[in-house]
Each structure stands twice: as C-alpha cells, then as structure tokens.
Chains A and B, each alone.
Chain A
C-alpha cells in the first residue's frame, strides 16, 4: 500500500512507535507486547468490521445480484445478465440524469468553494464581531435540509411567494423558480451552494488559521501586490485543504438526495432528476428494482474507482 511507503517522516515518528512496531529495546518483552497488541487490535477492530460487512459489504454484493436479476422488492427473480444495465444505459432518462448530476456537481463544488473562499478571506481580517458572523454563517450547513428546503419552498415555490413577488414589484416579471425547467435546475444548484458553502468556509478558514500573517507583511515589503500575495501565498497554502474539500464535495453532490428531492422532487419534467433521485424513483415508485439498482450500481462502481484514485492522491499530497 502506497500510504505506508509515502508517509512523511513526521507521521512515521508520530505513529510509528506503535506497540506492534519493531524496536530495538528489550527484545523479549517487546515481542510479547507485540503479540498482545495484535490480539488486542483484532478485538478492537472486530465490531467495526462486523458492521461494515453487514451494512456495507452484504448490501453491495446483494445489489450486484439484484442488478443482474429481474426481481422486485420481495423476490430476487430470474437471472437476466446485463439486461438491466442495457436497459439503463440505452434509456434517455439515465443520460439526462447523468448530465444533470454532472452540472449539479460542478456548480455545487466550485460555487460553494468560491463563496466559501471569499467569506473565509473576508472573515480572516479583523472585523467587529467577526466570531459571531463566523458562527452565524455556518447555520445553513447545520440546519437540517428538511427545514431549509421547506423555507426555500416558501420563498420561491409559487408565483405569489416572497421572492417572485419581489421580482414582480421590481418590474422584472414573475420568475417561476420551481416550475420552469431550466430555472428550476438553477434554483436547485443555488440551494446546494447555499447549503454547502459553510463546509468550504470551514475547511479554508482552518487552513488559513495555521498561516502566520507576517508572511504577508514580508511579501508586501518586497512589493508583492494583493493579487500576487493571493496567488503566490494564499492559494498554495490552502491547496491541500482545497483539494480535499473538492473531492469530498464532489462525493456529497453526486450522492445528494434530499437537497434535490425535497425542493423539486426531481421535476419539473425531470429537469432536476439526478442519478440518485432516478434510482430512488425507479425502485420505490416504478417498482423496477433491477434497473434501479443497476443505476445505483453504476454510480457505485464509478465512485469506487474515483475514490480509490483520489485517496491515493490525498495520501501522496500529505507528504508535501
């Protein structure tokens, strides 16, 4: 495993001297302790492994079986090979959902990153009551989606809701935020950015907090402009956090269900149906278990590959 070989010397020192580790001192005693450690480690890990197998492993295997059978929620049905996958991959609905998921993810990741970065930079300077603002701005991330989607619905859903009325009174027409297909897509994405920017803000703030501000003073002495300071100092310093937060937000966006489902239900005319929403509806509303699980399975496979690659990248980046 690359993670063990690419570990930095510091990390090694930090966790290297584990009881199971090879050492020089007191040989006999050490090996006794080492055997004991291995046994203890086994028991400490066991509950976690059992749960992982039950809640993640078993369903994954079962899902693979379901995806290749024509059963329903009660029975497995007959083996149909790749037929479900063929059905899914040739259906326009799948590709439309894949396309929406892609856009939703791109806007969700970079939109929330930009907003989060801007606010983190603003909050980093000395501002009266800065700490209070920091806490208040995390609320969209803390408040349950069920609650915030209800509030957003109240604000935009019908032509007489607060925000469409506001537009009307300003003479800008009456936008149908959730009824017009393209406007609904935008609304869902804006909602996702609203929910997610605090996460980005936290990640970037944490990274910025570990930077000594005198670096900037030194840079401005050397005549570096604000922009140069931003691109030459700030961005490299938050690069690792940024990278990790992009990865995680990508996963959060692809897997997101409530943000979309609770605001639009996937409509109007499937304009905001993501892959997860499509899989959910296929299984629990159309009762087509095979194709539904096949959609989920295709997503799973893609995410496994992506996350293994990204995990290695993160581990590598921690050396730098």
Chain B
C-alpha cells in the first residue's frame, strides 16, 4: 500500500494543462451525482435501520393493557418496577466495567512486550494469541464450566468476568501492540539515557502517550462483554444473577406477546453501547483485531 503512496507524487506533474477546465465539467456532473448518491444512501440507511427504529418505537408505544395514548415511558417504568431489570442492568455494568479495567491492565503491558520485543518467544506468543482468539468459545466453555462449578464460580458474576477478561485479552493485547508500534522508540531511548528504567519508560513515556490506544481497546472489551450471550447462557442460572442479554431473553420467552416491554428492556440494553459509540466514535477501532491486523 505504501508503495503506491510513494509512487504517486512522481505521477502528479503529468496532469494535463486542461486539468482546470476538465475539473469544472466534472464538478457540475459531480453536483448532480452528489444528490443522487445522497438519495441512494438515505434510502439504504433507512432500510438498514428499520429493526433499530422498530425497537425504539415499540419501546415507547403503549402496551396492550395500557390506557396511555401517543408515546409513553410507561413500558420503561413497568420493566424497572415489575422485573429484575435494575438488577440485570447493574450486573451487566459491574461485569462489563470490571472486564474493561482488568483486560486493559493485562493487555497493555503484554502489548508493549509484543511491540518492542524481538525474540522468537515473543513472536511465538503473538501467534498463539491470534490462534486462541480464532477458536470457538464453546470449546473452552464446557471445561471451564466444570472447573468453575467446583470453585463456586458458576452462576456468579466473578466467574463470568474472569471468562470475559480471558476472551477479550487476546485481541486487546493485539490492539495495544498495534498502537504501541506507532509510538516512536526514540521517546523511550531518550528516557533511558536520562536513567529511566524499562518499566519506568513504559509507564511514564509510552502509556502516557497511548490514551487513544487504551480507549479503543477499552471500547472493544466493553462491547464484547456487554454483548456476550453464549457465556452468559451457559454460566448464569438464577434470575437475580442474570446480565441484560439473559434478562431480555428470559423476558422474551415468558412474555412473548408483550413486545412493548421486551423492546423497552432492549432499548435499555442498546443504550450504553450506542452512547459509548456516539461519544467515542473516533476511537472506535476497526472492529478490534481487524484494525490491529491491518495496522501491524
């Protein structure tokens, strides 16, 4: 890719003299094309977002037994007052936030080693992480279920968090490594000359300059833990330990006809990732491992 970018400047001067004139003609055609493309993308986006719009709309539509008219917050308040929704929300938040913190705390130092180390052991470990992230979680879920059952970690949020940290750390490490790659080593070299230790230069120089990398890794871990269903369905048993995905599902099965309540809870579940995405979208890396693979 870089080859093309480098080759380009030489081809620049060959642009003809009539480039200006041509550009004008192009821009008029472009102006009309722009609005066609706008219409096309508007329609496509509209169709693509139908399921999401339906969710939001139903969540605020009065339920079958309601006397309210127009849009209402009744479903939301019902869901919170009549079900475990508040507990589920709290469980999801606690698990997800712990996962994010621990995952970044484990992945950042490991990513630093992956980025700066050159030994065969280090590149072997990098391969190992890649292989591990590509394996189906179902394979490790069964043995872990047995192991955790013996330790009282089944139907337990700590057990869930441990597995989430384990399954996010592979990609998180890759993402951190890809970010550290972009930090010039000369910064650390300068600090070593000033007598800083390797660890000191990692925390004081590298980490301090890595907020965007840390944020995108955190967002990745957040989305994975928040959205997980497979681990939750295997490990969680009781209603008051459920996280939101399990809550929505349990609700959905029991009250299959009460769509408005299901959608109200669905909106609660969808809100945090959408907020995170809306506010931090410039740190939203290209889908986790994708960005780090493309970047390294």
Contacts and interface: CB of A to CB of B under 8 A. Distances in A.
A138 interface: yes
Chain A residues touching B, range: 35 or more
B197 interface: yes
A52 B138 CA distance: 16
Contact of B147 (A58, A135, A154): A58
A143 interface: yes
Given A62-B147, A146-B269, A18 B41 contact: no
B236 interface: no
A299 interface: yes
B139 interface: yes
A11 B120 CA distance: 16
Contacts of A311: 127, 130-131
Contacts of A63: 139-140, 142-143
Given A212-B8, A221-B15, A244-B294, A146 B136 contact: no
Interface stretch (A86-94, A102-110, A120-128): A120-128
A253 B167 CA distance: 17
B248 interface: yes
- SS class, residues of chain B in contact with chain A: helix
B118 A52 contact: no
Interface string B1-40: 1111100100110111001001000000010011101101
A44 B202 contact: yes
Interface stretch (A169-177, A181-189, A198-206): A198-206
B211 interface: no
Given A58-B147, A122-B40, A217-B15, A145 B227 contact: yes
Contacts of A47: 105-106, 109-110
A82 to B, nearest CB: 18
* Residue among A21, A44, A145 with most chain B CB within 10 A: A44
Given A44-B113, A135-B278, A206-B294, A52 B132 contact: yes
B24 to A, nearest CB: 13
Interface in B232-253: 234, 244-245, 248-249, 252
Nearest to A292: B142
Contacts of A269: none
A231 interface: no
A150 interface: yes
A215 B4 contact: yes
B223 to A, nearest CB: 7
B71 interface: no
B15 A218 contact: yes
A179 interface: no
B45 to A, nearest CB: 5
Interface string B187-224: 01100100001110010000000000000000000010
A210 B5 contact: yes
A57 to B, nearest CB: 9
B52 interface: yes
Given A15-B118, A127-B38, A304-B131, A137 B192 contact: no
A224 to B, nearest CB: 13
Interface residues of B, number: 121
B190 to A, nearest CB: 12
B127 A147 contact: no
B98 to A, nearest CB: 14
B135 A138 contact: no
A300 B136 CA distance: 7
Given A144-B227, A304-B135, A44 B110 contact: yes
B90 to A, nearest CB: 17
A1 B120 contact: yes
Contact of B11 (A33, A218, A261, A262): A218
Contact of B248 (A142, A147, A162, A199): A147
A300 B133 CA distance: 11
B3 to A, nearest CB: 8
B80 interface: no
A318 B296 contact: yes
B130 A307 contact: yes
16 contacts: A3-B126, A18-B116, A33-B192, A45-B125, A47-B109, A59-B141, A135-B281, A147-B267, A155-B54, A194-B48, A206-B294, A218-B14, A236-B4, A293-B142, A297-B139, A303-B131
Interface of B: 1-5, 8, 11-12, 14-16, 19, 22, 30, 33-35, 37-38, 40-42, 44-45, 48-52, 54-55, 58, 105-107, 109-110, 112-113, 115-120, 122-147, 149, 162-163, 165-167, 169-170, 173, 181, 185, 188-189, 192, 197-199, 202, 223, 226-227, 229-230, 234, 244-245, 248-249, 252, 259, 262-263, 266-267, 269-270, 273-274, 277-278, 281, 284, 286-287, 289-291, 293-294, 296
Given A48-B109, A140-B52, 11 more contacts: A45-B125, A49-B125, A55-B167, A56-B166, A122-B40, A127-B38, A146-B269, A203-B294, A206-B291, A279-B136, A300-B139
Shortest 3 CB-CB contacts between residues of A and residues of B: A55-B166, A59-B140, A48-B110
